[in-house]
Amino acid sequence: MRSDRIQTAVARPAPSTLAVNKVLKNTYALLSMTLLFSAATAGLSMALHWPHPGLIITLVGYFGLLFLTSRFRNSGWGLLLVFALTGFMGLTLGPIVSYYVSAVPNGHQLVMMAMGGTGVIFLGLSGYVLTTGKDFSFMAGFLFSGILVAFLAGLAAVLFGIPALSLAVSAMFVLLMSGLILYETSQIVHGGETNYIMATVTLFVAIFNLFTSLLHLLGVFGDE
């Protein structure tokens, strides 16, 4: 009888493993839905030829919705706010994609290449963490400081119109967002992130910035 209990205990998954698998499942399911929803809102803004809302409205909308999502992350409102945030980001992305498609030669190819590159990087990095189980929590401080510096440099590039700085910021964001994907996936796997709503937001933001940065770099290196 005692032996049977020991065998049953060994065969039963640990609660932490079950919790991690649940967070992973919910995160990737919600991430898939938000990516589709964001693509739909981006397509809507392109179809209706909506102009870009501008830097101030974009920042206020993004940080405002991000704050509300974090505030209500443990309630049903959190799910609605995730879609509000990602849908808003899709609306701001639409005019950018429209520019490349309509005003840049080979714009369609550039957009598809950026999308493909983003997908390959995300799947490759996430798959690496999931298969190896490596812990990238040590990157937290570097990512925080790096993203802050890149964000401020990006604002300076826009406000003062410095193309070289803008290019450097895009390259920085490609590296930083790749690191963020490694870090957040590792956090989920090792139980550091237990809220799938916030995990989804972090990965979505990484994918969004990775795509826009790759698109900018491809446009520049394509001499366009």
DSSP H stretches of helix in 161-195: 163-189
- At 222, the pLDDT band (50, 70, 90 cuts) reads low
Tens digit of pLDDT for each residue in 47-74? 999 999 999 999 999 999 999 999 999 9
Mean pLDDT along residues 13-19? 68
Is 144:176 a contact under the CB 8 Å cutoff?
no
In the chain, where the domains are located: 16-221
Q: What is the pLDDT of residue 104?
A: 81
Is 139:183 a contact under the CB 8 Å cutoff?
yes
Tens digit of pLDDT for each residue in 190-214? 999 999 999 999 999 999 999 999 9
CA distance 182 to 196: 16
Mean pLDDT along residues 166-185? 97
Is 142:154 a contact under the CB 8 Å cutoff?
no
DSSP H stretches of helix in 190-224: 196-221
CA distance 216 to 210: 10
∠190-194-197 over CA atoms, to 5°? 130
Q: What is the pLDDT of residue 8?
A: 41
Distances from the Cα of 136 to the Cα of 23, 103, 133, 189, 203, angstroms: 18, 41, 9, 10, 15
Report whether pLDDT(135) > 60: yes
Q: Which helix (H) or strand (E) holds 74?
A: none
CA distance 215 to 76: 34
Percent of the chain with pLDDT over 90: 85
